[in-house]
Each structure stands twice: as C-alpha cells, then as structure tokens.
Amino acid sequence: MRYDIRLTLGCSYGAPSDHARMVARILPSSIPGRQTVVSRLLGVGPRPSECRETTDFFGNAMTVMAFHAPIEQVELTLTAQVEQLPLRPGLDLSPDLPGLAAEIGAQRSLGPTSPLHHVGPSTRIMADPAIAAFTRDLARPGMTALQVVTAVGEALHAHMRFDAGATDVDTPPSEAFANRHGVCQDFSQVMIAALRSLGIPAGYVSGFLRTVPPEGQPRLEGADAMHAWVSAWCGTELGWIEYDPTNACLVGADHVVVARGRDYSDASPIKGALRTSGGQHCHHEVDVIPL
C-alpha cells in the first residue's frame, strides 16, 4: 500500500521569543522489508537562521533548527509518500519468560537495536508497583514472550479508555493508568512499563496511522493524527515486534513508522528551548491518504 502523508504542526507563543532552538522528528525513513519512503519534504515557517539534517542514536531522522530573530509562532509542514509492505505474521518462535531472560543476558551488543537499552527505567517511564501488580497475573507459566505481549496489550485496552482530553504530553504513565484513561502516548507508555516489569524489553514508536471512516461516510480532512505504539523484543529468533495497545492489535501496513526510542522523550515530534513569556499553544493535523 502506498500513502500520501501531509502533516501540519504549529506552535504559537504568548510573546515573541528569541534564540529558539528546536529538534523535529517528523520525517519518516525507509526501513528494509517494512516501508520505503518515495519522497519527503519538510517546510518551516518562518525560515530558521540555522537548519541541518542528522540522525540520532536510534537512527531517527532529525531536523535541528535555530531562530536568532524573534518569532511569535513556528509551523512545520511535511509532505511525504511512503510505500508500506504487508506484514505477514510468522511462527511464534519466542521463548518463555525465563528463556527470554537468558537470551537477554547473552546479549553483548550495545547498538541501537539492542534490547539492553529497553529493559530498565527510562526518562519518562519509571517502575510502577500498581502497573506491575496488574501485569503480573497476565503472564502464566509456559506462555511465550509474544503471547505475553499480546495478553498485556489486550488487558490494558480493556482497562483503559481513550480520552483525548484526559491527559497532556507530560502526564506520567502511573497517573494515566490510575485514572484509567488517556491517549495513544499514555496507552503505549503504560504498556512499556508493564512489559518491562515482566523483563520484556519494550520501547516507544511514533508515526502515522491511517484511519478508516465509518461505512458510508466521507473521510474527514485532518482526521488522522500522529500515533504511538509499542515495540517489544521477543527473543533472538523473533526479534522486535510491534503492538498497538490503543487499538489492541499487532501493527500492520496502516502504521507508518517515524521514530523509535525508549519512551516519548526519544521520539517526540518537536522539542527544544526558547526564551519567551506567557503560554504557548500547539496544534497538528495529519492526512494519511491511500493511493
């Protein structure tokens, strides 16, 4: 399946800011055997004083920008065309949890895809006793790592309710879990905490998700949004698999990967530092159009 993707991401500030520096991770990249980026173009307004493209440790495309003149707002626009290959589920060759622990212990690589980066706490995801207690009984003896990942995702989908206004970008997973509602970022970070409590390496994936309108109704412009889901390491044979707890499903061809990391802080679409006063308001719209 090939998609046209359009993204508009804007931030406005209460007072003109100067010496603003920002890092954007919104450019999708090609992934062998998974997705091919046919074209991608990022526009920035106003034009930054400095701008360069690079990649971070996890291989995510980064746009690094600096504004030396005062700005009251900044708007990023992405246009891209991405071809997604069908993801066919293979055999479940993942070990049980004791076997997974042994395979993790045998890892020697510290490269970007090493599961060792995703076992312990990270910047935004700390160990949480309530999440660990909820998860503990889901992993029954003899279950494979993949079966555990699926069971945890389904249980969290049933436990939590999607609510676009319940949380913000800084809400910790423990709070979203306790209140039993949140958005895709919350679902994903709670699931990561749950899997890590069982010894399953888990990370955060941001990207785009094609949404399908109800039958007989037209597709709404801007109705899609940036999405988040979970990657989990299920052993040497199976490697990394991806699960979408917001929709209780294994990731398919409708999920377009943009960035990966340990949690949201490694994959946030935009972050930076600026000097200003007052508040700020951010918005984004996404269109994922199948061709």
Q: Which CATH class is domain 2-85+269-290?
A: mainly beta
Task: Quick: pLDDT tens for 16-42.
Answer: 987 899 999 999 999 998 999 999 999
> Are 257 and 208 within 8 A, CB to CB?
no
pLDDT computed for residue 205 by the predictor: 98
Task: Quick: pLDDT tens for 215-229.
Answer: 777 665 555 678 999
CA dihedral 202, 147, 207, 59 (to 10 degrees): 40
Gap between the Cα atoms of 13 and 46, Å rounded: 14
Name the DSSP class of 95: -
- Report, as an integer, the average pLDDT of 66-86: 94
Closest CA to 192 of 254, 266, 85, 142: 266
Lowest-pLDDT range of 51-65, 77-91, 101-115, 213-227: 213-227
Extract the tokens encoding 290: 């199948």
Task: Quick: pLDDT tens for 164-174.
Answer: 888 888 899 99
> Are 174 and 129 within 8 A, CB to CB?
no
The listed range with the strongest mean pLDDT (67-81, 201-215, 272-286) is: 67-81
CATH of 97-265, picked from 1.10.760.10, 3.30.200.20, 3.10.620.30, 1.10.510.10, is: 3.10.620.30
- Report, as an integer, the average pLDDT of 52-73: 96
pLDDT, mean over the chain: 93
Extract the tokens encoding 55: 């990649």
For residue 277, is pLDDT > 90? Answer: no
Partner residues linked to 270 by β-bridges:
24
- Report, as an integer, the average pLDDT of 38-58: 96
HSE (side-chain half, CA atoms, 13 Å) at 18: 3
> Are 96 and 144 within 8 A, CB to CB?
yes
Structural domain spans, the chain: 2-85+269-290, 97-265
